[in-house]
Chain A
Amino acid sequence: MYTQALDSPGGAAAADAHERERLERFQERIDRDEKIEPKDWMPEAYRQTLIRQIAQHAHSEVVGMLPEGNWITRAPSLRRKVVLIAKVQDEGGHGMYLYSAAETLGVSRGELIEQLLSGRAKYSSIFNYPTLTWADIGAIGWLVDGAAIMNQIPLCRCSYGPYARAMVRICKEESFHQRQGYEIMLTLSRGSAAQRAMAQDALDRWWWPSLMMFGPSDAHSVHTAQSMRWKIKRFSNDELRQKFIDVTVPQAEFLGLAVPDPDLRWDESAQHYVPGPIDWSEFHAVLKGEGPCNRERLEARHAAHEAGRWVREAAAAFAEKHQEPLRAAQAG
């Protein structure tokens, strides 16, 4: 990074010393828990790490609308339907907050969308699983949003201001998502034998993918150490996963459902649940594009992007024609 500085007279040594000093001062700001704002100097690696993480997060929110959107027309009651529409709309809004936060780092919205559509950008592996029954909508709200909350609450204290502020907003909204999901599971688990079986089946299919949402175990996580030093991350993947397991297992017990892990046991001395081994080959396969719905999800994003093209063009043409600013709105 900053290789152009090496061409300047005075040579590499002076540039290196200057760079080292800036890095040290930056780290001191982080250590003092100061927030970094868009116009502040930051190391290029810090900027790139954040762009990658925030963009992945934004893409996950947007792609995350697809599995749940699948059930809007088939929600079992009007109440469930308006709730699901509101939730899916929230996910779209979360994507917008996050794209905006990423853009403060100097990447354009167009580039970010292009990276998603071309398959170069990643999004959370969880959204490559299908929603086969209505109970899946309950399981997603309860487990997937529950895991997301676990991940996101520490991000509200992230060192980068715009990301932290977006996360505060998202976390406030996310709690409703998890509760509506648990309510669906509760209704099904107190229902007929067929409904209980449907709830159990959903838990069976979503449990392990939800645990994988926290990412590879600490020993194999490439970015964790540096991200913790920069206070982008506050807890390691395994710590967050453990917290999630500890709060979720009793919730499953309350529903009368069985967590699909024969090795799961309570460790009295550690005061933690100890899960069985996670099948990481599945996680890596889904990340590589071999999950059940990877292709379908990207196709749906492409279709939406193309179907919306004429709307964007028409709006741009209209704006071009009516350049007059909206005075009424400015009067506020």
Chain B
Amino acid sequence: MNEDWVLYEVFIRSRSGLEHKHVGSLHAADARMAIEHARDTYTRRQEGVSIWVVRSSDIVASDPAEAEELFEPARDKVYRHPTFYAIPEDVKNI
């Protein structure tokens, strides 16, 4: 059984001025082929002006089991949002 090519994650910038966004993954023998396959697979309808490919094995991700300790602490810090502060209607431009 032949081995699969390396798995790459694909990120596309949909137009200049916007960030690259993850769109999916694909297999390729090398990075150049990954770009070419990404172009054929993910940009057949002008979805992008720039492509990033990253080996999936190079991505370090947070563990879903740790989601609570990572993200919960932000929940009770509502004072980080502008709507936390009551300003009289008469005050303008703030």
Contact = CB atoms under 8 A, between A and B. Distances in A.
Interface of A: 37, 39-41, 86, 89-90, 93, 96-97, 100, 103, 108-110, 114, 165-166, 169, 173, 309, 312, 315-316, 318-319, 322, 325-326, 329-330, 332
A309 B81 CA distance: 57
A40 B41 contact: no
A109 B56 CA distance: 14
A21 to B, nearest CB: 15
A108 B26 CA distance: 12
B29 A329 contact: no
Contact of B53 (A108, A114, A329): A329
Contacts of A330: 31, 52
B25 A90 contact: no
Given A40-B64, A110-B2, A312-B2, A325 B31 contact: yes
Main secondary structure of the interface of A (DSSP, over half): helix
B24 A166 contact: yes
B26 A100 contact: yes
Contacts of B29: 312, 315-316, 318-319
Given A100-B24, A332-B50, A319 B64 contact: no
Nearest to B47: A169
Interface string B9-34: 00001000000100011110111110
Interface centre among A86, A96, A330 (most CB of B within 10 A): A96
A150 B51 CA distance: 32
B31 A326 contact: yes
B52 A316 contact: no
Nearest to A94: B41
Contacts of A108: 4
Contact of A39 (B26, B33, B63): B63
A325 B30 CA distance: 8
B67 to A, nearest CB: 9
B63 A114 contact: no
B55 to A, nearest CB: 9
B75 interface: no
Contacts of B33: 315, 319
Contact of A326 (B32, B61, B63): B32
Given A330-B52, A332-B13, A332-B52, A319 B30 contact: yes
Given A39-B64, A86-B44, A315-B5, 17 more contacts: A39-B63, A40-B64, A89-B44, A93-B44, A100-B26, A103-B7, A103-B25, A110-B4, A165-B24, A166-B24, A315-B29, A315-B33, A318-B30, A319-B29, A319-B33, A329-B51, A330-B52
Given A110-B1, A110-B3, A96 B26 contact: yes
Given A39-B64, A103-B7, A329 B1 contact: no
B40 interface: yes
Contacts of A110: 1-4
